[in-house]
Structure 1
Amino acid sequence: MKKKTTIKDIANVLNITPSAVSRALHDHPRISDKTKTAVRKVAEELEYQPNHLASALRSGKSKLIGIIVAKTNSHFFSSVMESIEKELNKEGYNLIITQSNESYEKECRNIDALLQTQVDGIIASLANETVDFDYYHKIKQNGIPLILFDRGENDIGVDYIGIDDYASSNIIVNHLVEQGCKRIAHIAGYSHTRIYQNRIRGYKDALRKHKLPEDKDLLLEGSLSIEDGRAKMEELLKLPELPDAVYAAGDYAALGALQVMQEHNIKVPEQIALVGFSNEPFTSLVTPPITSIYQHNKEIGKLVAQQVLLRINDKNYKPVLHKIILEPELIIRDSSRKRDLNTE
């Protein structure tokens, strides 16, 4: 294995002190341009890689920010991360990406790894399994700014940025009622997670508002994966009285539900209307295209980045914790347009 090049190796080649090499690499004003050029040339030839951790210990900043998301293959999370990284890069920060795969245990390991890397801040969206927040308190105890987004509007006492999940359910149920639906099922996320709890509450309140029945058989909690959406739809199809609409709290679950309905020759939306959540790219590509909630991914990412930088750069910044809630937008597509069909 090739020995890692150090500042001392560069100093030996140029016959100068290691401290002079360090200053040259950090563009110190007392080092001549000639020396800086020579040091950079030798550093490149020897494939020198700076030790960011050592630099962090000296400066008190690593210029690294960690992020924990449930899964990186989600369009919502990937577009939020792209927006965060764009904002952070403008200020000279880099993003370290980790994923929990919805596992609490893996989420805890990610937190430990980020703390050991001495990141300047941590951004997170909680895993579905997470019900214990001790590890998040550990971040705060280490004096590291923590910003939560999407999942995480919990009582950890940190900044939170997301959409109004309660209002989202109201908007969806209102739309389905406008389409003539009277028996609306909800494939929900786990209610111990605040965002899904809010979506369930919004769903129930909207049913009451429209004087529609609250049937416990029509509310099914799960992981919101494609497989889970399929399983929950199979359960709904076994009911004596079928729903005339299904609202899934995630687009992958909505896709699974759509697959099952098509396998059972159920016409969507004529027999059962369908609405998802997150506006994943595939929702506009399947047949019929799936109505879904747009979560303002890019805006969330930008606000998250700005907030974490504010917390990092001003240690005295201690206002009331920021809770930024954006208004959701329903993207209506053919999977829920019953009225349009009835008027043709």
Structure 2
Amino acid sequence: MRNKKKITIKDIAEALGITPSAVSKALNDHPRISKQTKIAVKEVAKKLNYQPNNLASALRKGKSNLVGVMIPRTNSNFFSLAVEKIVERLSKEGYNVIIAQSNESFERECKNIESLLLIQVDGIIASMANETTSLEHYEKIKSKGVPLIMFDRWEDELDVDYVGIDDYKSSFLVVEHLKQQNCRRIAHIGGYKHTRIYKKRVKGFKDALKKYELPIDETLISESSLLIEDGRRIMSQLLELPDPPDAVYAAGDFAALGALQVLEEQGVQVPEDMALVGFSNETFTSLVKPSISTINQRSELIGTLAAETFLKRVDDSKWDPKLNKTMIDSELIIRNSSLKTK
């Protein structure tokens, strides 16, 4: 089936016997065009189903009113809530948001950023993919003068605005809680340590173990993509150790869920035999049995603040050469999976 021809200003002009310039002025309510002509032009435009190219018009004015939002995954409660607040805040200021998903792929992240720059977005709000080790594509955004605001995942070398939680402190809170539950041998299912947030989480984990004089056993510390299958695989390996842990702290709730599945399948009582804590406060953590203790990253606040940071960057009256590094206190939500003592 052939596509219908796109109606242009020239088609309206030919139908009325006037110039395309006059049509354009009529559609934009120019004061030098008569009321009668404006009415006629708008009637023909409606009859022909004319759709104005708002993007082209905006670009001619040097502004697209589009903001790109790059996230690693859409199936995460954290990212979906953060994006919801970004869209909510920016839409109030007349911006449309284009959401791109890297699916934790460096290659896809690069392609998505190229596409966003191609359509000349007014800014990009992003959270890095797990696979990302090179920052060239982000440096390209900066070199073009496009505002770049990072949230949740970022790297210090980028030297851009950032909004997120204190990952180091969050891990510290988890270990303190497990120590209070009389756990003595704590394992950590971590993310890839080339990523800043997971590097901070494992450092907070180790420093807390040192403070409370608990053993740091490298065989109990792992790196992964923090997917359900990673949690299952690593939990199975931990249970096969001669001296298994009595608690597991996963740096992501999906990995914690996978770990919980294996513990249930192997008849390990949670939290009596093995305490478990996750990270991110995904919706399912409060629904499974036992419910999973986790870190609340306050995603809605992060989304709102990321949007506010972008708005400050594009507002000349509020422009500040200093970069904004906004660190939000997280919250440890204690549930049944780690509550050993009453």
What's the offset of the Cα at 1:149?
A: 0.4
Distance across 1 between alignment mates of 2:291 and 2:42: 55
Counterpart of 2:280 in structure 1 is 278
Residue segments in structure 2 that go unaligned for 5+ positions in a row? none
The count of corresponding residues between Structure 1 and Structure 2 is 340
Counterpart of 1:89 in structure 2 is 91
2:117 is matched by which residue type in structure 1?
L
For residues 180-199 of structure 1, the C-alpha deviation after alignment (integer angstroms, 9 at most, x for no partner) is 11111110000100000000
What's the offset of the Cα at 1:315?
A: 8.9
Residue segments in structure 1 that go unaligned for 5+ positions in a row? none
Of the candidates 60, 63, 77, which is equivalent to residue 61 of structure 1? Answer: 63
Matches within 5 A, 1:167-178: 167-178=169-180
Counterpart of 2:335 in structure 1 is 333
For residues 47-71 of structure 1, the C-alpha deviation after alignment (integer angstroms, 9 at most, x for no partner) is 3222244223310001101111101
User: Is 1:131 the counterpart of 2:133 in the alignment?
Assistant: yes
For residues 7-49 of structure 1, the C-alpha deviation after alignment (integer angstroms, 9 at most, x for no partner) is 2223333444323333344454555666555544443433322
Distance across 1 between alignment mates of 2:65 and 2:336: 46
Is the alpha carbon distance of 1:20 and 1:300 closer, same or farther for their aligned partners in structure 2, counting shifts above 3 Å?
farther
What's the offset of the Cα at 1:319?
A: 2.3
Counterpart of 1:164 in structure 2 is 166
What's the offset of the Cα at 1:332?
A: 1.1
Distance across 1 between alignment mates of 2:317 and 2:146: 10
Distance across 2 between alignment mates of 1:141 and 1:268: 51
Question: Taking structure 1 as the reference length, what is the TM-score of the superposition?
Answer: 0.94
1:269 is matched by which residue type in structure 2?
P
Partner SS, residue 189 of structure 2? strand
Indicate if the aligned counterparts of 2:65 and 2:121 stay in contact, CA closer than 8 A.
yes
Matches within 5 A, 1:176-195: 176-195=178-197
User: Is 1:216 the counterpart of 2:208 in the alignment?
Assistant: no
1:21 is matched by which residue type in structure 2?
V
User: Is 1:244 the counterpart of 2:224 in the alignment?
Assistant: no
Is the alpha carbon distance of 1:270 and 1:63 closer, same or farther for their aligned partners in structure 2, counting shifts above 3 Å?
same
1:168 is matched by which residue type in structure 2?
S
Distance across 2 between alignment mates of 1:309 and 1:213: 47
User: Is 1:76 the counterpart of 2:50 in the alignment?
Assistant: no
For residues 175-228 of structure 1, the C-alpha deviation after alignment (integer angstroms, 9 at most, x for no partner) is 111111111111000010000000000000000010000000111110000011
Counterpart of 1:298 in structure 2 is 300
User: Is 1:23 the counterpart of 2:41 in the alignment?
Assistant: no
Indicate if the aligned counterparts of 1:247 and 1:276 stay in contact, CA closer than 8 A.
yes
Distance across 2 between alignment mates of 1:33 and 1:241: 86
Indicate if the aligned counterparts of 1:68 and 1:97 stay in contact, CA closer than 8 A.
yes
Distance across 2 between alignment mates of 1:141 and 1:215: 44
Distance across 1 between alignment mates of 2:17 and 2:84: 44
Indicate if the aligned counterparts of 1:56 and 1:118 stay in contact, CA closer than 8 A.
no
Counterpart of 1:147 in structure 2 is 149
Is the alpha carbon distance of 1:316 and 1:82 closer, same or farther for their aligned partners in structure 2, counting shifts above 3 Å?
closer
Indicate if the aligned counterparts of 2:312 and 2:318 stay in contact, CA closer than 8 A.
no
Is the alpha carbon distance of 1:185 and 1:5 closer, same or farther for their aligned partners in structure 2, counting shifts above 3 Å?
same
Distance across 1 between alignment mates of 2:238 and 2:39: 70
Partner SS, residue 97 of structure 2? strand
Distance across 2 between alignment mates of 1:158 and 1:247: 30
Indicate if the aligned counterparts of 1:188 and 1:222 stay in contact, CA closer than 8 A.
yes
Is the alpha carbon distance of 1:43 and 1:88 closer, same or farther for their aligned partners in structure 2, counting shifts above 3 Å?
farther
Distance across 2 between alignment mates of 1:297 and 1:116: 29
Counterpart of 1:309 in structure 2 is 311
Distance across 2 between alignment mates of 1:177 and 1:34: 80
Counterpart of 1:200 in structure 2 is 202
Of the candidates 257, 260, 266, which is equivalent to residue 258 of structure 1? Answer: 260
Distance across 2 between alignment mates of 1:81 and 1:232: 31
For residues 223-257 of structure 1, the C-alpha deviation after alignment (integer angstroms, 9 at most, x for no partner) is 00001111111111111111111100000000000
- How much is the aligned-residue C-alpha RMSD, in angstroms? 1.7
- Percentage of identical aligned residues: 61
Of the candidates 117, 120, 124, which is equivalent to residue 118 of structure 1? Answer: 120
Distance across 2 between alignment mates of 1:284 and 1:31: 63
